[in-house]
Amino acid sequence: MTDADNSSGEGEYSPPTSKIVASKQNTIEAARLLLAQRRLYSRSKRWLALKTTGVLLIAITTPIASLLWPKTAVIWAGVATLWLFAGRTILTQLEKNTSAKAAAVQEIFDVLIFDMPSQGKRTPCPTLEEISSIAGDDDLVLSSAKEANLLDWYPIDTSQDGSVTIAICQRANASYSDRLLRTYANFWLGTVVFWAAILIGFGIWQRLSLATFLLGIFVPLLPAFLNAIEYWFGIRRAAADRSDLTTVIEDKLANNAQDLEPQDLLVWQSRLYTLRRDVPQVPDFIYKLKRKKNEAAMKSVASLLSARVTRSGESSDSNS
């Protein structure tokens, strides 16, 4: 399936009603896309997990081995360096390529339910056959999507104007993963700093030589620190972009929702795709840990924004 398959054609974009969006997001076609993107993201996270597990194992076991057998410090430093190279080249490329495919499928889902025209081919993008194979048997798609809590993907007020509903959905998308990213960054950085403090304290207590300390502790911890720094910089960039997009949508809804143009929705959708494609992945255990709280917040904010727009529209009508 390509973007063009879900396109409403070139020319003027006319957003569907909220009822249509709510109905479309629970169809077999939409559920198939959601299952495919979820499973592609899970595959991407497996590569991330492999890379992270290797880094953590090296960060934990190598310093201990070097401290117990100082003569092996050079060997363990070499192992850490090789894993750093493999993790930041091969494994990172596999992770990003798979997550980019997932982002493309999620974009197709949005284009389908928002009835948007094509904004260009998303690369890399799975073929129709790949999506169908990943999602599984059509007879089981809806039940699998329900079991995975993928139905009613977006919180939708069916009485609200379609353009407003789509804008609220886009805003929810921009803010949801930002919360996950910040949680994971704090977890990762906190773990690395905590372990580094223990090892440094132990090294000082044992009065290790500078060479043993550098080769046995610093070099093995370097991959973990580099990953932590990389995540922090990635999150700072992603957070800035998401915060900007969230603010733009909120301001539009709060101040002049009546002037919301279809072109605004197309521009925001394009930005959302870029954010999804380039954003660092968050492990499933963090996602599951925060899912209920984040989804509750997303639904609450969506209801709040919808109510504000409704009150603003009623106020404008009474003053006209």
- For 82-135, the pLDDT digits (tens) are 887 887 789 888 999 999 999 999 999 999 999 999 777 788 899 989 999 999
User: Which of 28-32, 306-310, 311-315 is predicted least confidently?
Assistant: 311-315
Single-letter code of the amino acid located at 60: I
> Vertex 59, ends 55 and 212: CA angle to 5°?
135
In which band, very low, low, confident or very high, does the pLDDT at 180 lie, cut at 50, 70 and 90?
A: confident
Query: Which residue did the predictor score with more confidence, 307 or 212?
Result: 307
The torsion angle over the Cα atoms of residues 277, 279, 285 and 288, rounded to 10 degrees, is -70
11 three-class SS: coil
Summarize pLDDT for 33-83 with one digit per residue, the tens: 999 999 999 999 888 888 878 877 776 777 777 667 777 767 777 777 788
DSSP state of 90: I
| C-alpha distances in Å from residue 255, one per residue of 260, 303, 316 | 10, 17, 11
| b/e per residue 7-22 (b: at least 16 CB within 10 A) | ebeeeebebbbbebbb
Residue 152, Ramachandran bin (φ over 0: left; ψ between -120 and 50: alpha; else beta) = left
| C-alpha distances in Å from residue 55, one per residue of 64, 71, 87 | 14, 22, 8
The domain segmentation of the chain, as residue ranges, is: 14-148+157-310
Summarize pLDDT for 211-248 with one digit per residue, the tens: 767 766 676 667 667 766 776 777 667 767 877 888 88
Q: Give the DSSP H/E element, type plus range, for residue 3.
A: none
Tell me the pLDDT of the chain averaged across its residues. Answer: 82
Q: Quick one: angle between helices 162-205 and 219-256, nearest 10?
A: 160
Query: Which residue did the predictor score with more confidence, 168 or 84?
Result: 168
3, pLDDT greater than 60: no
